[in-house]
Amino acid sequence: MHRNAARRPAHPIRPARPARPVRPARPAAGRSRLVAGCIAVAAVLGLSACGTASGALQPTTAAATPGSASPQQQPTGTAATTTAPATGSDGATGSGPAAPSAAAKPGTPGTPGTPGTSGTSGTSGVPAQPAATARTTSPAPTPAPTPATGTPAPPPAHPGTATKVIGSTASGGRTVALTFDDGPGPATGQILDLLAQYHVKATFCEIGQNAAANPALVKRVVAEGHRLCDHSVHHPQPFEKLSHDKAVYEIGAAHDMIVKAGGPGTEVSWFRAPGGGFDADNEHIAAGLGMSSLGWSVDPRDWARPGVPAIVSTVQQQLKPGGVILMHDGGGDRSQTVAALKQLLPWLVAQGYTFDLPAA
């Protein structure tokens, strides 16, 4: 009995066997394999770091899909990730290659999307795989990203200095040149009648789309010995802020529209920038089409309809020999301009002025 009693206390010791420090060695071996797998994945993907300090590969919070942004990566093609639009798209769309996202995590290569689009172009980078699949899946190598190919860059703007903007008559002396902008329009015929009455030759700076819509008036201007001037297609302002290729279109297309409306042999000798918005670039564009840049020296602001007396007095006060007067035959109600011209033509004759064309 004493011998059996001595053995009984030994039984409570047996439950301590599961706590042997030998069994946790298996997770350590699994972790080693996991770390080794992580290193292999990192080597394939070119990762500079893998997982966390403990060596475990952390799953991403949301898997990225092509054309969508993960929480760590902005979509390719947004304003935050693309280069500034090239000069020439009317702000529209960018034409340069997309810049890499500043918020993208290292080691998530992908193909940049088409610039100027938002959120639906390009291929997202390969996200890190969860630990559960990283032990059995070996991702295929991701090809190096290729730069997106944008639209061809527009011709560079002219780097030179501005050319001379004309503000005087061809002959000088006690001469004056009358110029009319923004037509042809409803008032053009009335102005032509007045000019014919006083045997005056003037210059008409026409809007391209107005010339295309009123070819009969353009033909009449040419037939009666007046001269033509390019005033752009749509009269955009500020004209000097246009991109180079937009300015090329506004000037070149207007020139072609006016020539077509006038018929064979029509010449367009000058270009007048809307609002006087000349710069070196648009002046050289005009020169390339054989046109001089035409300004003015007298501006009665008849377009604002300040009243007939105000138009007449401004011309009388500002005019000096050899001056170029700016008036309008289009762009709105020009009844004040017609009424003022009825007073100005006989006054100019009485002052000893003869009528001339602008210098070229």
DSSP state of 77: T
Known catalytic residue at 90: no
Amino acid at 334: R
For residue 324 the two structure tokens come to: 């170029």
Q: Which of 181, 182, 281, 329 is catalytic?
A: 181
- Is the separation of the CB atoms in 170 and 349 below 8 Å? no
Known catalytic residue at 193: no
Q: How far apart are CA 226 and CA 10, in angstroms?
A: 126
The long-range contacts involving 99-108, CB below 8 angstroms and separated by at least 24 positions, are: 101/73, 101/74, 101/76, 102/74, 103/72, 103/73, 103/74, 104/72, 104/73, 104/74, 105/72, 105/73, 106/47, 106/48, 106/49, 107/42, 107/45, 107/46, 107/47, 107/48, 107/49, 108/64, 108/72, 108/73
Cis upstream peptide for 75 (omega within 30°)? no
Q: Which of 230, 284, 328, 329 is catalytic?
A: 328
Separation of first and last alpha carbons in the chain: 136
For residue 265 the two structure tokens come to: 């042999």
What residue spans of the chain are helical by DSSP H?
2-7, 25-45, 131-134, 188-197, 208-213, 215-223, 244-262, 280-288, 308-318, 335-350
Nearest Cα residue to 139 out of 148, 129, 150, 147:
129
Catalytic residues: 181, 328
